[in-house]
Amino acid sequence: MKVKIVKAKVGEQKVNCYLEPGFLGISMCTDKLLKKIGGKISRKLTSEEKDSKFVREKTTAPLGLAIIPITFTFNIINNNRLSNYESITIPTKVLVEKYDPKMPNYILLGNNWFYGRNNHGIQTYLPEI
C-alpha cells in the first residue's frame, strides 16, 4: 500500500502529515516539530503508558502528549459558493518524542485518527485516501 504525505497547517505554520493506514498506535511527532508549530506538551506519560507495548517498541525517548489543531484544506467539486475550497480543523492527540536527526519531520497519523473514533471528546476525521 502506498503511503501519502498530506500538506496541512497548524495555525499559520505549514506541516506535513504522513498517512499510514494500518499504523496501530497514537499519532506521533518530535519535540522539534512541536516547538516549530508553537505547540506544547499538555501532559507527561503515566507509568502505565510508558510501559505499554506500543511505547516500548515504537519510541526511544517519549516525552508526553500534546493536542495539535491540524487544519486540512480540500477542494469540493461543484461547490455553489464562490470558493471551491473548504477546510476542517481537527484537534489531534499526538505522542511527542525527543528529536533525533534520523527521525522524519512530519506528523504520523495513527489508526484511531483514520477510523473517525472519538477519544476522550476529541473529534476525529475520516480522510479520503
**Closest-CA residue to 67 (of 122, 126, 6):** 122
DSSP β-ladder status, 62-75 and 85-97 = antiparallel
Task: Output the CA angle 58-59-65, nearest 5 degrees.
Answer: 110
**Closest-CA residue to 27 (of 12, 10, 13, 11):** 10
- Was domain 4-114 assigned CATH 2.40.70? yes
Q: Is the pLDDT at 26 greater than 90, yes or no?
A: no
Which pTM value belongs to this model?
0.74
pLDDT digits (tens, 9 = 90+) for 46-68: 999 888 888 888 888 999 999 99
Q: What is the distance between the alpha carbons of residues 15 and 23, in angstroms, rounded to a whole number?
A: 20
pLDDT digits (tens, 9 = 90+) for 66-114: 999 988 876 555 555 555 567 788 888 899 999 988 888 899 887 655 5
Identify the band that residue 37 occupies on the pLDDT scale cut at 50, 70 and 90: very high
Domain chopping of the chain, boundaries:
4-114
